[in-house]
Structure 1
Amino acid sequence: MSSTENYQAAEQLLRRPARPGELVTGDKVRPQWIDGGARFWYAVNDGERNRFVLVDPAAGTRQPDFDPTALADAPLGSPLEVLSPDQKVAVSRRGHDLWARSLSDGREWALTTDGEPGYGYGYGPDCTSNATLLRKIGLPHLPPAVAWSPDSTKVLAHRTDEREVRQTHLVQARPADGSAPALHTQRYAYPGDEHMPLAELVVLDVTTGTVVRAQTEPLLMPQLSPIMIKWAWWAPDGSAVYYLARPRDLRTLTLYRLDPATGEVTTVLSETGSTRVEPNQWMYEPPIVRVLSDEVLWYSQRDGWGHLYRYDLRTGELLGQVTSGQWAVRQILHVDEAERVVYFTASGLVAADPYRRTVCRVSLDGTGFAKVTDDDLDHVVTLPDSMAYFVDSASTVDTSPVATVRDWSGRVLVDLERADISKLVATGWTAPERFCVKAADGVTDIYGVLYRPRGFDPAGRYPVVDNVYPGPQVNRVEPGFDPGGMGMDAEPLAALGFVVVALDGRGTPGRSKAFHDASYGHLADAGCLADHVAALRQLAETRPWMDLDRVGVFGHSGGGFAAARAMLDFPETYKAGVALSGSHDARCFNLGFVESYDGADNPGAWARSSNVDIADRLTGKLLLVHGELDDQVHPQHSLRLADRLLAADKDFELFIVPGAEHTLIDCIAQVRKRCWDFLVRELMGTQPPAYRPAPIPIGPELLAEMFA
C-alpha cells in the first residue's frame, strides 16, 4: 500500500530535475573557462546556495570560496545573444533577420535585411522550436543558430526555408489573460510530405556587411539546425567551413567544404550504405568527424562497429582504419597532430557493462592503442579550448560521481568533487541494480536497471512497472550515475512501492551496427518490447518478490507511444499503462524522426507504427495524458487514439492538460500525481492517499537546465 510518506518521497525525487542540487550535490561540474581554458571556475549548489571554486590545473590547485565577481570586466550579453570569441560583438535575432551589437559602445547594425515569414535567418525548423515552452517562460525564441569564425570577423548561419512546409494548428482554450480561444499555427512536416524545412548556408562578414551564400542546393533540415547540432563548423584557422549532409533516404553521408570568401562548395568524401549512414548513433550528439590539416578522421560502421578511418583531405582517398574491434568509438576528444595521436572515448571495453565509456588513445596509423582511464567506471569528459587537460566525471549506475582534472596520460592533476548523496538516501532511495539478461531471441545480451521499492522487504510481493523509452535516437538507461535524468519517473515510482525496471532492447543505440539497425523499419516494435517481456520473466525467476500478475508500463513521449503499444501488443503481460505525450500515429508525427528510423518512403512501416490502427486490441487499463499545446507531439495523437478506443467500445481514461507543452513541466508534480494514483489503484488495488504536491516554478533558469 502506498502511503502519504511514500508520496512525499516520490515528489522529492521527481523535483530533482527541476531543482538540481536539492538532493544530490557535487555530481555535476560545469566549467566556466577563463584565460583561454588555462583555468576555470564552477558552481556547486549545497541545496541552499551556490558556492564557487577556482581551479588551476597547471598549478594543481583548487581554491574554494572563489568570488566570480572578481572577473567583473567581462562583457555582458543576453541569453538570447551569441558572443564572438573575442567577446566584442554579439549576434541576435530580430524578427526574421540577424543583427550585431558592439559590446563596447552598444552600436547595433543589421547583418541581414531580406528575412521574411517562413524564410528567415538564424533559426531551425518550427517543429522543434519549443514555442509553447518559451511563451510560458517569457522568451520570444531560442538563441540564434549561428557559429562565429575563430577570428571573430564572420558568422556562419543559414536561411531557413519553410514557405511550403505543411501548416498545423493548436488551439489554446483559455489564454492566460482569460480572452477568447487562441490559434497557434506551426510549420510541421509529416512523413512522406513533399516539402520539408531547408537550410541555405550563408557566411556573414560582421565588419563589412558582406553576405556570401553557399553555391549549392539547400540542405535538407527536417528536424534540427545543422549549426546547432554541429553538422556545420569552422576550420580552426577560419579558412573554410565544413558541413555534413544526407539525401532524404539517409543512405549516403557526405562531407563538404565551403569557401567562406566565394561560397564555392566542394565534396571532400562520401560514404553510402544499405541502411542509414550516420555520423553518430545518437541523433542529438555531435558527429564523430574531425578535419585535420591534411586528413579527415571519419566515423563509419562499415565493419559492423563504429570506428575511425583516416582519409586524405585533398583527394578523399582512404588512408587506413585507425580503430578496430568489437567496441565503438563514442567521441573524438583531442587530436595531437604533432605526436600523431588521437584521444577518444569508446564503449564496449568494460566487460561488466558494454555501455560504459573509457578514455583511450591510439596513433593515427592504428598502432599503440591504450586506455587512458584503465578502470571499470563510466567516464564523461569535458574539454577546454586549450586541450591541455580534461575534466573527468567517473561513476557507474550505483557509484556516485567523482570529478577530477586529468592530463592526457590519465594522471589526476586536481581532485574536484565527490558527489554527496546523503539527502537522496534520506528519502529512502537505494541505488538501482544493473542487470544483464537475454533478449527475446535467447542469444543477445541486453542490459537494464532494476529499482527496488522503498522500504523493500524480500519476503514481500510487489507490483512491477516497466518504465519505457524505445529510442532509437537515445538510450533509456545511462551507464553512469543518473538521478533525475532519463530516470525521472523510475525513482518516484519505486518510492511509491513498485519494483521498477528500465532497459534498452534491440534497436537502441550504443552497441553494434546490427543491434541498432534492428529498429530500421521497425519503429512499431517500440524498442523491441518483446525483449522487455523476456527480461521481466528472467528477472522474476530469481526475484520471487516481483509479482508478474501485476505489471504496468509507464512512458513519456516516445515512451508514451511504447507504453500504449505494450498494452496493445502484450496484453497478457501488461495490465495497466500510463502514456504521457505519446506519439501514437507515425503518419502525423515529425518527418525527420519517422523517416530516419522507418525509412523515407515506407508508408507500410508508418502504418504499422500506429497505435491508432490496433486500438481494438486493448484489454487492460490505460491512462492517456497529453498537453493541450504540445508542439512537439501534437495532442491529436492521444485524441486520435481515444477516438478509435471509443469506436471499439474500450474503457480508458483521458487527461488533457490545459495550456501544457510537451514535457508538462509547469504542472509536472500535479500530472505525475494523477498518474501515480492511477497505477496505485490499478496495480496495488488500493485507494491512493489524499496528497497535494507543491507546484514547481518555471523560469529561464529551468530552461537553461533543460537544454544544458
Structure 2
Amino acid sequence: MKIIAIASLAALLAPPLAAASDPSALRRSLSLRDDWMYLTRDIADPAEWTHEGKRFHYRKTVEGGFAFVEIDARTQRRRAPFDAGKLAVALSDATQQSYQPLRLPFDAFEYADENRAITVTIADERWTCGIVSYACRKADPADMNRPRAFGVVRDLDAPADNHPRKSPDGQWEALVEDDNVVVRAVGSKDAIALSTDGTPGEFYDPETLAWSPDSTRLVVYRVRPGFRRIVTRVEAAPSNQLQPALRTQLYPKPGDPVDIEQPVLFHVAERRRIDIDNALFTNPYEMSPPAWRKDGRTFAFDYERRGHSQARVIEVDGQTGAAKAAITEDSKTFVYADRRYRHDVGDDAREIVWISERDGWRHLYLADAATGALKQITRGPWVVRDVLKVDDAQRRLWFSASGMDAGKDPYFKHVFRIDFDGANLTRLTTADATHKVRFAPDMSVYVDTYSRVDLPTVSELHRADGTLIATLERGDISRLTAAGWRPPEPFVSKGRDGTSDIWGLIVRPRDYDPAKKYPVLENIYAGPHDSFVPKSFWPFGFHAGGDKVIGMQAQADLGFIVVQIDGMGTANRSKAFHDISWKNLADSGFPDRILWHKALAARDPSYDISRVGIYGASAGGQSALNALLFYPDFYKAAVAYAGCYDNRMDKISWNEQWLGWPVDASYAAASGVDNAARLQGRLLLIVGEQDSNVDPASTMQVVDALIKADKDFELLVVPGGEHSVGRSTGPIPYVQRRQFEFFMRTLLARPNQSLGTDLSP
C-alpha cells in the first residue's frame, strides 16, 4: 500500500509525464490567472442604489484592476463615490494588510453615517470607513447579534445583544435580566419582572423581544438550548508560536438537538403572560423571530419542521394568544428552507404572497390568511427565481424567472412584472442572456446588467416600462481575446428520463486539434442547493467563479478537455428534477452526467471517454470520491477537496435539508467511509487542517477506511488550510499544481495502458 502525502513531491515529479517533456506548459497553466485577470475593461457588477434612490453605484474592471463608479440616475453624471487612494491607505493601516487603490478587497459597499462613511465586508468581517476623514474601524461586536451555529444552536459563550428595546410610544423599555424579561420606565432603574421562570437551561432571548405597535404587549421566545457539540482541531504549525495549538468550534451535526423556541406573550400593564400553544409547531427545526403586524392585531413567525417536510406561517392573536396556521406547505420530500418567500400584504396582512412548488414548479401564490386558501399568480413549466418588489397599493409584483423560453437556456434569468390576479404578465428584459436587475426604490427606473459566457457584460439604465435610457457599460475583452481566451461551449443532451435537457459547458485547449484524442476532466459540484454551470460572462479573477474557470482553462491547456455539467438533483428546474437528490446524495446526477459525456463523445471524436477524471470541493469533493466508489467503470481518477464524505459528520443545516431527520440509512448509503472498500481508480484527497465548514475529520475517517480496506490513494493535508484551500490562488499555487500534476500522471502519461492502482511512476 502506498499513500503519497505532503512530502512526496519527488514521486509526483518523476518521469514520465505526458506534458512533462515541456515543463513550461505547467508553468504557463499555473500563471494563467495572473496573466489574464486584468485584461478586461468595463465589466460591471450589478448596481446598488442609495437609500434616497437618486443615485446608484457599481464596480467595474479598469486598467490595472477595478474602480467604483457612482451615477446620478436623472442626469447620468458620473463621479467616484470615494477617494480610492485614501481609502486604500486607511484600510491598510486598520487591517495591517497592504491594499492598492485599484485592488480594494471588497466588491460592494453601503453608505453609512449620512453618506460620510461606507460599510464593507472583508474576509467575513464588517468594517466601517469614513470617506471624509478616511479612517476605518471594525464593526463593534456589541452591535451584532449572538452567533448561531448553522442557524440553529446559539453560541452561549458569546453575549446576546441585550440593549434595552424601547416601546414605540417611548415610555418603556424591555430587556432580559437573569434570564427573565423585565420592563422599566424610560429613565428609571426600577425594573418590573414580567417572568420569573427563566433559567440558563430555559432562558428568554432578548434578541427576540418585540413590542406591539401600541406599546401594550411584548412577545419574546423562551429558549431551551440545543446540544453544544464542539469540534476540536489541532493547528500543527501556527504562525505565532512553535508548539501546536487547539482550535474549537460550535458545530451541530445531523441528529443533534437544536434550540427549541417557545413564544410567550406578555400584556405589560396587567403583568399577564400567555404561553402560546405549540400544537402547530411541535417539532421546530427553525423559527423566525416574531414580528407584529402593523395594525397590532396579530404577530407572526415562520416555522420549519425538523426534517424539512413542512413549512408554515404561524399567526397569533395579539390579545388571546390563539395560534393558527395562516399557510401550510407540505412536501413528500423536502421544502427548501433557503428558497421560501413570504410577503405580508398591507398593514393587516389578511393576504400573503407566498412561493410554493405544489404544482411541480416554483411559483407565486396569493394566500388568504384567514382560510389558508391559495390563488396561483404565476403558472407554467418554468420557475420563479427571485421576488424583486411587491407593491401592495398597485397589487403588482416584480420577479425574476428562468425556463420560460422554449429552446433557450432554461437557467437564464429574465425579469417580469405581474398583477396579483395573474393578469398583465410583462417581460422587462429581452436580450438572450442572464439578467441581474436592480430597481430604484421608487421603481421608476432600473439598471439591467446582463451577459452570457460568450457575451461580455452589458449594463443599461431603463425606465420602468422597459424603455432604454442609456447604455452605461459595455464590456471590452479585446485584450483577453488577443491573449488567447475563447468562450466555453454550451452543450445539451437528454438526461436519464429521456426528456430532461442536461446543460453543460466545454473548455478546450487553446491549441486544440480536432484530429487528436483528449482525456476529459469534469469539474463537479452537484449540491442540491443550486445549479452551478456558469451562465454569465467570466471576467477572470474578478467575480465568484473566476478562479474556478481559470483552473478549467489552465488544465485544458495541459492537454485535456474540461467540462462542467448540471445533472438532475440540482436546483432551478422542476420539483421532479430537484427531488432526485432527496435521500440520494450518492447519485450526484451521475446517470445524467455519463449520458452527457457519451452524447458529446458520439459527436466529437476527439473527446476520449476512456480517460475521464473528475475533481470537486466540499459537496463536490464528496461527489468526486463517489465517482470512483459508485461509477468506476466510467471515472478513472479523482481529486477530492474538503469533502463532506459522510453526511453524519458534516454541518446540520445542509445535510438534514437533503437527507432529512431523523438520521437514517440514507446517510450511510452516501458515505465514503462506509463504501470505501468499493474504491477503484486513482484518488487524491486534499484537505485543509483548519476547515471550519466541513469537519476535516470527515476526510481522515475516509483515509482510515481506505487503509483498512487496503486501498491505495494519495493524501495532501495543508497545515492551517481552511475550507477554500486550493481554490484561492496564492503566490505559489502549490495545491493547484498538485492537482494538475496528478491528472497529468494518471490520465496523460499512459493513454494506452490500464489505470491500475499502482502509484509508482
TM-score over 0.5 for the pair? yes
CA distance in 2 between counterparts of 1:608 and 1:472 reads 17
Distance 1:68 1:158, change over 3 A: farther
Q: CA deviation at 1:397?
A: 2.5
2:525 aligned counterpart, secondary structure: coil
Determine whether 1:185 maps to 2:248.
Answer: yes
Name the residue aligned to 1:167. 230
CA distance in 1 between counterparts of 2:474 and 2:176 reads 48
Q: 2:334 aligns with which of 276, 284, 288?
A: 276
Letter in 1 for 2:512: F
Name the residue aligned to 1:74. 115
Higher-Rg structure is 2
Q: 1:469 aligns with which of 513, 525, 545?
A: 525
Q: 1:524 aligns with which of 560, 574, 586?
A: 586
Determine whether 1:679 maps to 2:743.
Answer: yes
Q: CA deviation at 1:633?
A: 1.0
CA distance in 2 between counterparts of 1:587 and 1:505 reads 24
CA distance in 1 between counterparts of 2:236 and 2:201 reads 26
Letter in 1 for 2:735: V
1:294-693 map, 5 Å:
294-313=350-369, 315-318=370-373, 320-350=375-405, 351-483=407-539, 485-486=544-545, 488-496=547-555, 497=557, 498-526=560-588, 528-664=589-725, 669-685=733-749
CA distance in 1 between counterparts of 2:743 and 2:484 reads 20
Determine whether 1:252 maps to 2:267.
Answer: no
Q: CA deviation at 1:11?
A: 3.9
Letter in 2 for 1:251: S
CA distance in 2 between counterparts of 1:71 and 1:35 reads 10
- Whether the 8 Å contact between 1:342 and 1:361 is mirrored in structure 2 is yes
Name the residue aligned to 1:207. none
Q: CA deviation at 1:157?
A: 10
Q: CA deviation at 1:235?
A: 6.6
Distance 1:344 1:397, change over 3 A: same
Letter in 2 for 1:606: Y
Name the residue aligned to 2:15. none
Q: CA deviation at 1:292?
A: 1.4
Distance 1:163 1:184, change over 3 A: farther
Letter in 1 for 2:578: H
Distance 1:77 1:662, change over 3 A: same
Name the residue aligned to 1:290. 343
1:572 aligned counterpart, secondary structure: coil
1:413 aligned counterpart, secondary structure: strand
Letter in 1 for 2:314: Y
Distance 1:234 1:410, change over 3 A: farther
- Whether the 8 Å contact between 1:96 and 1:117 is mirrored in structure 2 is no
Distance 1:201 1:549, change over 3 A: farther
- Whether the 8 Å contact between 2:46 and 2:449 is mirrored in structure 1 is no
2:720 aligned counterpart, secondary structure: coil
- Whether the 8 Å contact between 2:458 and 2:473 is mirrored in structure 1 is yes
Letter in 2 for 1:172: E
- Whether the 8 Å contact between 1:490 and 1:500 is mirrored in structure 2 is no
- Whether the 8 Å contact between 1:378 and 1:480 is mirrored in structure 2 is yes
CA distance in 2 between counterparts of 1:308 and 1:530 reads 32
2:562 aligned counterpart, secondary structure: strand
Distance 1:410 1:73, change over 3 A: closer
Distance 1:444 1:113, change over 3 A: same
1:587 aligned counterpart, secondary structure: coil
Q: CA deviation at 1:670?
A: 2.0
Deviations 1:46-76 (Å, cap 9, x if unpaired)? Answer: 253554433232x251425565699996355
Distance 1:436 1:270, change over 3 A: same
Deviations 1:664-695 (Å, cap 9, x if unpaired)? Answer: 266663211211111122112189xxxxxxxx
Distance 1:638 1:317, change over 3 A: closer
Letter in 1 for 2:378: T
Identity %: 34
Distance 1:247 1:53, change over 3 A: same
Distance 1:44 1:375, change over 3 A: closer
Letter in 1 for 2:655: V
CA distance in 1 between counterparts of 2:364 and 2:662 reads 30
Distance 1:213 1:404, change over 3 A: farther
- Whether the 8 Å contact between 1:401 and 1:418 is mirrored in structure 2 is yes
- Whether the 8 Å contact between 1:470 and 1:562 is mirrored in structure 2 is yes
Name the residue aligned to 1:176. 239
Letter in 2 for 1:91: D
Q: CA deviation at 1:200?
A: 7.1
Name the residue aligned to 1:61. 76
- Whether the 8 Å contact between 2:452 and 2:535 is mirrored in structure 1 is yes
Letter in 1 for 2:511: G
Distance 1:585 1:319, change over 3 A: closer
CA distance in 2 between counterparts of 1:172 and 1:405 reads 51
2:586 aligned counterpart, secondary structure: helix
Tell me, which stretches of 5 or more residues in structure 1 are unaligned?
Answer: 84-88, 102-108, 124-143, 204-211, 688-708
1:246 aligned counterpart, secondary structure: strand
Q: 1:43 aligns with which of 48, 59, 64?
A: 59
CA distance in 1 between counterparts of 2:204 and 2:519 reads 52
- Whether the 8 Å contact between 2:688 and 2:721 is mirrored in structure 1 is yes
Name the residue aligned to 2:160. 97
Q: How many residues align?
A: 631
Letter in 2 for 1:683: L
CA distance in 2 between counterparts of 1:264 and 1:383 reads 39
Deviations 1:469-503 (Å, cap 9, x if unpaired)? Answer: 11101212133224553464344233233211111
The worse-fitting range, judged by mean Cα deviation, of 183-192 and 625-634 is 183-192
Name the residue aligned to 1:136. none
1:61 aligned counterpart, secondary structure: coil
CA distance in 1 between counterparts of 2:570 and 2:54 reads 38
CA distance in 1 between counterparts of 2:292 and 2:451 reads 34
Deviations 1:250-288 (Å, cap 9, x if unpaired)? Answer: 221111357999999764322222221236xxx4x5x33
CA distance in 2 between counterparts of 1:648 and 1:73 reads 64
2:57 aligned counterpart, secondary structure: strand
TM-score normalized with structure 1 length? 0.78
Distance 1:345 1:32, change over 3 A: closer
Letter in 2 for 1:189: P
CA distance in 2 between counterparts of 1:7 and 1:156 reads 63
Name the residue aligned to 1:699. none
- Whether the 8 Å contact between 1:378 and 1:479 is mirrored in structure 2 is yes
- Whether the 8 Å contact between 1:81 and 1:92 is mirrored in structure 2 is no
CA distance in 2 between counterparts of 1:366 and 1:556 reads 42
Q: CA deviation at 1:625?
A: 0.3
